Every structure is written in C-alpha cells, then in structure tokens.
Structure 1
C-alpha cells in the first residue's frame, strides 16, 4: 500500500500560510525541517508543507504561470460539528467560503473554502 507522506503548497508568504493552517488545525511544526524556504507540519496520517518561491529552483521546477485550481487539499475531522466549527474558525483566520457545509451524495459532510492565498481546500467528515 502507498502512503502519502507530504503535500506541499507553494506560496509567496510561507509564514502567513503556515500560520493559517497550523493555527486552524492545531498542527505541530516539524522544526527540524524549518528553513527560509520551507515550513512543515505533522497531521494524523501525513504531513503538509509550505514552500517559498525559491524552492522551485531547489526542486528543478518551473512556477505555474496560469490561474486555475490544480490541487484540492482535504482535511478529515471526526464529526459534522467539527466541520462547522473549523469552517467558522477558518473564516476568522482569513479563509473565504466557497461552499457552506453540506452533505455529499456519497455520505460525507464537508465545506469548501479558499485559504488566504486563494488555494481551495475542504474540511471533511466521512460520517
């Protein structure tokens, strides 16, 4: 079985975006990996990182130049109440609601938001 170890989000302001997600989900920072171009946090099953633009060169990647959603992060929580609570908390921290908490056709309960950089993410309960 394959396990997703890390997901990274590129951002012009790693401190701001790392603080947003770290505060919203009460995540522990992986301080050993902190650098001027990276911040990482542990989640229950994997880790999430925030990379500054200088990381493109380090990784041999070219920055994306066109607008559009390419990745959707989904954060699982234990209940519908937590989805609602974290959605409200996210908006206080600077997120914008795309879709209010709702029941999906596949039995999950989730909200769709955009973080302060405009990246789409979901707060989800599998029911």
Structure 2
C-alpha cells in the first residue's frame, strides 16, 4: 500500500520557515537529511520538508517557480480543542497570521486557519 512520506514546501528561507513549525508544533528536525537547500521535520506519521527556491531548477520546475496563490493546505492535528486554542497564539507570536479563529466545522472538527510567515495556509485541527 502506498503512503504519504513527505509534504514539501518551497520556502524563501528554509531555516526560518522550518524553525517556525518546530516552535509551534515541536516537530524535531531530521538532521541526517539537512542540506544548504533543505530542512526536514519529523511529524510523527510523515515528514514535512522545506526546499529552498533553488530546488525549482534542481527538480526541473523552473518554469513553475512564479506560481501565485494558495496551492496547498497543511493540516496539523492535535489531541484536543484546548490544544488548538493553546497553539494558535503560539503560532501568531511566532509570526503566523490568524485567518479564521478556532471554530467547530459542520463535519465536527475544531480548527483554526492561519498563514505561516511566508503566507502558506495551514490549519490546526482536532477531530471531535
């Protein structure tokens, strides 16, 4: 069976952006795969990678490097509603922008919607 191993984010500053997710969620860095243009974090079930913009050329994606708009949504699950509420101000203090304050969805999740310091969308979720 196939499984998701990584979600990679192109980042202007891989050190700063990976550090943001480390501070907010406590994800440890996978130091064995660190390079000047990459940082990886262990999320417990899969990994979160951060590629420097140089990786566009390395991966033969240079023609797509100027895309605009929201292209993905990171979902990070936590263990309780209180944990969602606790992590939102941590994220904001670390440089995130709160887009939608914590709320209960019609599909019975409790979540907040934010933008990380580089403008990527992420949600902090608790599945009730």
TM-score (norm 2): 0.95
The separation in 2 between residues aligned to 1:126 and 1:70, in whole angstroms, is 23
The separation in 2 between residues aligned to 1:14 and 1:66, in whole angstroms, is 18
Change (3 A) 1:66 1:57: closer
The separation in 1 between residues aligned to 2:119 and 2:69, in whole angstroms, is 10
**RMSD across aligned C-alpha pairs, in angstroms?**
1.0
- Unaligned runs of at least 5 residues, structure 1: none
Aligned to 2:43: 43
Q: Is 1:99 matched up with 2:117?
A: no
Q: Is 1:81 matched up with 2:82?
A: yes
The separation in 1 between residues aligned to 2:123 and 2:112, in whole angstroms, is 6
Aligned to 1:90: 91
Kindly report structure 1 stretches of 4+ aligned residues shifted beyond 4 Å. none
The separation in 1 between residues aligned to 2:69 and 2:56, in whole angstroms, is 19
- Unaligned runs of at least 5 residues, structure 2: none
Aligned to 1:121: 122
TM-score (norm 1): 0.96
Number of matched pairs:
127
The separation in 2 between residues aligned to 1:43 and 1:33, in whole angstroms, is 15
